[in-house]
Amino acid sequence: MDKTALKSWLILAYCLALILAGAHANLQQSSNSGSDNGIAAATTFSGTPEEEEGENVVLVNKCCEKFEIRIDSVCSQVNESEYFQPMFTSYGGEHNMPVKFKFVIGLPACGSMQTWPIYHYQGSPDKLVLLEDGKLRHYTNTKEEEESVDYAEQFADEVSKPLFYDYGRNQYCIDRAISTSGDHRQVLFANICLAKKELKWSDTNFLMHKVLNPIFHVISLIILLIIAIVYFILPTLRDLVGNIVTTIAVCLMVSQVADLVRIFTEFTNHVSFIVADIILYFSILAAFFWLNSFGYYIWKTFRSRNVFLRVTDARKYCYYSVYAWGTTAFMAAMAVFAHFFLDADTYKKQNTLADQETMGWLGIAIFFAPIACTILIDIFFYVTTLKLINRRNVYGRIQHKLKANFIMFAFMLLIMSAEWLFLCLSWLKFEGLLYTHIIVNALQAPLLLYVCVLRQKHVTFLLKKSCCYNEPPSSNDWGDEMRYMNCNDY
């Protein structure tokens, strides 16, 4: 190759190098200008947070994907023109701060703390401000009318200054939200980790709901367990009435456990409140169907002309079990189906507990409507049976025992109906009604213990005899006292 050709190739290579260098400089300049305008911020976070922080990029936690926003509480894909573009505010109150940012997709890592949704719209008491360092500031107790009001000027007055809390990275996620119904269509949504609230033992609400209410539930569980054990371990009490009382006590124990789970809303990551609701309402419904079976048995027996003829209790208990458990399961299945497939989403959102879905009003209505019907039927059984008792002048041993069972049924109906009524009234969200329901629920188990055990002289006699006490036979001769006439077991 001669010198002329070599010189030509060198000149050509030098020109290509100059062209490539100029193109690289133009590309880098356009990329930097796009980042300053917030265009590069729409990219999803890639790489470790440490690497991004080293490039002076602010990380913003976004609830939905980059190409999604929340539409009616569901992440839905939208056009690029509707993407969420965050607006940053300085600590001095200046808006539209030029900040390089990238999105981190996902819900906040709250651990054992509760997550709480916040909606920011014009005129709302909650305000969300995304600070220039990526923190989310949540103002409460505000009366903002326009979005353009400067925060520093608005909150300059110390008297009207609202409370606020700053949430760092991994403690929040923010996104744009749209509601297809309601007055506020454009909403700024955030899901935050609730800060740990300082416990004030002088707070009446805290003492009633978080201290006394769980203690009352535990005491009720112990008392109901005592009732179930008494009617289960004594052989002569394991008749039809004793088995029904035991079953009702077990149902009420399950309801107390399910309600106890719903009290501690801090453990949202470990329990499902919708499952606790289903178990609670199922057990309450089952208890009332068994009480209805008890009333039907008393009513039918008093109407029978020959009360001395006795069908085996085991067979009757099987019949009543088919009725009580079968009807309860059928109504519970209808309620669960109605909640998940028929109830509107707006009504479901009204019944939320610690940001978890609970049983909606339609499902609760299907659970509790049969309870109201059983109470009315039981009242009919009570009134008609009372008339039959008043017509009789002569009582034998069996009639005397049936009358005692009838009185026990009447008291159980009154106690359980009162507790159910105050449970319904507690949903009105008045503090007085809530406290009344807590007290009535605490009194239910002790009253049932008195009615089913302490008030029954026959039961107390058997308990004293089982505990090896020398007790003379009672004047109410039911047969067991005659068996222990000489304090000997035959």
Give me the residue label for tokens 């009194």: 443
**How far apart are alpha carbons 127 and 130 in whole angstroms?**
10
Rg, Å, the chain Cα set: 35
Least confident of 98-112, 185-199, 432-446: 185-199
Q: Which two three-digit tokens encode residue 193?
A: 């980790």
Enter the tokens of residue 68. Answer: 């999604």
206-215, 235-244, 263-272 — which is least confidently predicted? Answer: 263-272
Non-local CB neighbours of 339 within 8 Å, separated by 6+ positions: 348, 359, 360, 362, 363
99-128 average pLDDT score: 80
Examine the pLDDT at 196 and tell me if it is beyond 70. no
Lowest mean pLDDT: which of 76-85, 141-150, 202-211? 141-150
Please answer whether residues 297 and 240 qualify as being in contact, where contact means their C-beta atoms are separated by less than 8 angstroms. Answer: yes
Both tokens of 28, joined, read: 């880098």
Give the pairing of strands 68-71 and 74-77: antiparallel
* pLDDT exceeds cutoff 60 at 215: yes
Does residue 459 come out as left (phi exceeding 0), alpha (psi in the -120 to 50 range) or beta? alpha
List, for residues 122-140, the tens digit of each pLDDT value.
777 788 888 888 888 888 7
Q: Is residue 105 within a helix (H) or strand (E), and if so which, with residue range?
A: strand 101-105
Q: What is the reported pTM? A: 0.60
- Is residue 467 scored above 70 in pLDDT? yes
Structure tokens at 344: 């509107």
Pairing, β 58-62 against β 115-120: unpaired
Mean pLDDT of 319-335: 94
Residue 122: per-residue pLDDT: 77
The pLDDT value recorded for residue 374 is 95
Q: Look at residue 476 and give its three-state secondary structure.
A: coil
In 132-204 the beta strands, taken as DSSP E runs, fall at 136-140, 163-167, 172-178, 186-193
What is the predicted pLDDT for the residue at 128?
87
Q: What is the pLDDT of residue 437?
A: 93
Nearest CA to 353 out of 257, 438, 268 is that of 268
Least confident span in 221-225, 325-329, 456-460 = 456-460
- Higher pLDDT, residue 123 or 378: 378
d(CA 275, CA 98): 47
Of 61, 35, 33, nearest to 49 (Cα)? 61
* 3 state DSSP class of 312: coil
Name every residue whose Cβ is closer than 8 Å to that of residue 433 and which is 6 or more positions away in sequence: 422, 425, 426
For residues 13-20, give the mean pLDDT. Answer: 65
Supply the angle between the helices 240-263 and 397-425 in degrees, to the nearest 10.
Answer: 20
Lowest mean pLDDT among 11-20, 220-229, 274-283: 11-20
Q: How far apart are CA 239 and CA 241, in angstroms?
A: 6
More confident residue, 151 or 9: 9
Per-residue pLDDT at 121 exceeds 90: no
State the average pLDDT for the chain.
Answer: 77
